[in-house]
């Protein structure tokens, strides 16, 4: 019997369905990994085993492109973007969750309404702002906009904060805690699972973002990994060399760090997802 009193056999269909879904989702990555380990003539074989075996594709990818530089840039930009949006959104979410003031719900609704604006609408005005500041062809526009928060993360973190007993904060206020102390010493430690969810979400969004680097970056030394892979694709894929094994090896290198991140943060990530949104 399970902890809920249901027989174990009733969970078998659910487990089988989850295993089937996991296999389906993993098949593209398994093929990508296998194809990246084959010689050029066998790259597009439909099998899932790397036969013949050619691990030298990764050495060729590292030697022919500055992948380490692009990888480092992606880590720096991703951490800066994720930290900026997580902290700024948490501070705004705390204000909406704790303070009671006229028009709070209307103002919160206006914040959520910004999610309806597609990136294409704000792309040109945003570019003009960064251009006037002289920050184009730098990595600053890739993360600095996150200092102003994100409506999605503000909503997510506000819901988590609403699940905390308000008596904790009132007791701290009676003990003389200031509002910043309420946030940093009381709220911040209690919402760490939700903060981790926001951080991982934004890090993944930054890690896979191609559009912003395409818009703002010209210097190859500043490229993030997606922008660099675009160069690899143009040079070795659709270009004259047709070395798809190098393209696939670079794609695997770009994918593995995110898999490792999700694996390491799995427990806290699941906890944050499960406990966010208890209250409206």
- Over residues 202-229, mean pLDDT: 93
CA distances from 52 to 35, 41, 48, 57 (A): 10, 10, 12, 12
Does position 244 have pLDDT exceeding 50, yes or no?
yes
Angstrom distance (rounded) from CA 219 to CA 228? 11
Among 250, 236, 248, CA closest to 45: 248
> Between 240 and 151, whose confidence is greater?
151
DSSP 138-165: SSGGGTGGGGG--HHHHHHHHHHHHTS-
Q: Tokens 């993944």 — which residue?
A: 204
Does position 275 have pLDDT exceeding 70, yes or no?
no
Q: How many residues in the chain?
A: 280
- Over residues 226-242, mean pLDDT: 83
Does position 276 have pLDDT exceeding 70, yes or no?
no
Count Cα neighbours of 260 within 13 Å in the Cβ-side half-sphere: 6
Residue 122 gets the label, from left (phi > 0), alpha (psi -120 to 50) or beta, of alpha
Angstrom distance (rounded) from CA 29 to CA 48? 10
Distance from the Cα of residue 48 to its chain's centroid: 28
Angstrom distance (rounded) from CA 131 to CA 137? 9
Q: What is the pLDDT of residue 22?
A: 87
Q: What is the pLDDT of residue 277?
A: 47
Q: What is the pLDDT of residue 3?
A: 52
CA distances from 207 to 35, 158, 166, 169 (A): 23, 25, 37, 36
pLDDT tens-digit map of 33-73: 898 898 888 888 877 888 888 888 898 888 888 999 999 99
Does position 218 have pLDDT exceeding 80, yes or no?
yes
Q: What is the pLDDT of residue 221?
A: 93
Q: Is the separation of the CB atoms in 234 and 29 below 8 Å?
A: no
pLDDT tens-digit map of 8-36: 777 888 888 989 998 898 888 888 889 88
Name the token pair of 91: 């501070």
Distance from the Cα of residue 33 to its chain's centroid: 22
Among 74, 276, 78, CA closest to 195: 276
- Over residues 93-100, mean pLDDT: 92
> Between 240 and 17, whose confidence is greater?
17
pTM of the model: 0.85
- Over residues 96-113, mean pLDDT: 91
Whether CATH 2.40.50.140 fits 60-275: no
Tabulate helix, strand, coil % of the chain (nearest 5).
Answer: 75, 0, 25
pLDDT tens-digit map of 128-177: 999 999 999 999 999 999 999 999 999 999 988 988 888 888 899 888 88
CA distances from 238 to 209, 231, 233 (A): 21, 10, 6
What integer best gives the mean pLDDT of the chain? 87
Q: Is the separation of the CB atoms in 182 and 173 below 8 Å?
A: yes
Does position 209 have pLDDT exceeding 50, yes or no?
yes
Among 116, 65, 122, CA closest to 247: 65
Does position 278 have pLDDT exceeding 70, yes or no?
no
Q: What is the pLDDT of residue 280?
A: 44
Q: What is the percent of the chain with per-residue pLDDT over 90, rounded to a whole number?
A: 41
Q: What is the pLDDT of residue 7?
A: 61
The ranges of the chain annotated as CATH 1.10.3720.10 are: 60-275
Does position 6 have pLDDT exceeding 60, yes or no?
no
């Amino acid at each position: 019997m399970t902890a809920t009193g249901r027989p174990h056999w009733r969970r078998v269909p659910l487990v089988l369905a989850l295993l089937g879904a996991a296999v389906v989702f993993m098949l593209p990555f398994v093929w990508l990994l296998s194809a990246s380990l084959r010689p050029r003539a066998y790259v597009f074989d439909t099998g899932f085993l790397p036969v013949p075996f050619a691990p030298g594709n990764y050495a060729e990818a590292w030697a022919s492109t500055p992948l380490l530089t692009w990888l480092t840039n992606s880590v720096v930009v991703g951490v800066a973007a994720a930290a900026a949006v997580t902290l700024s959104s948490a501070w705004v979410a705390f204000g909406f969750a704790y303070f009671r003031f006229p028009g709070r719900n209307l103002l919160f609704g206006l914040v959520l309404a910004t999610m309806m604006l597609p990136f294409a609408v704000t792309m040109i005005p945003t570019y003009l702002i960064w251009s006037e500041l002289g920050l184009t062809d730098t990595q600053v526009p890739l993360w600095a906009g996150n200092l102003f928060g994100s409506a999605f993360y503000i909503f997510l973190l506000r819901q988590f904060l609403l699940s905390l007993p308000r008596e904790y904060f009132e007791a701290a206020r009676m003990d003389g805690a200031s509002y910043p102390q309420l946030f940093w010493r009381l709220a911040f430690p209690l919402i760490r699972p939700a903060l981790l969810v926001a951080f991982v979400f934004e890090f993944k969004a930054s890690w896979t973002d191609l559009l912003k680097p395409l818009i703002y970056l010209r210097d190859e030394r500043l490229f993030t990994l997606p922008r660099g892979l675009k160069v690899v694709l143009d040079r070795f894929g659709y270009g004259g060399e047709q070395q798809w094994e190098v393209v696939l090896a670079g794609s695997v290198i770009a994918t593995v760090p995110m898999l490792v991140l999700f694996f390491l943060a799995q427990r806290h990530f699941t906890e944050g997802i499960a406990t966010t949104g208890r209250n409206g």
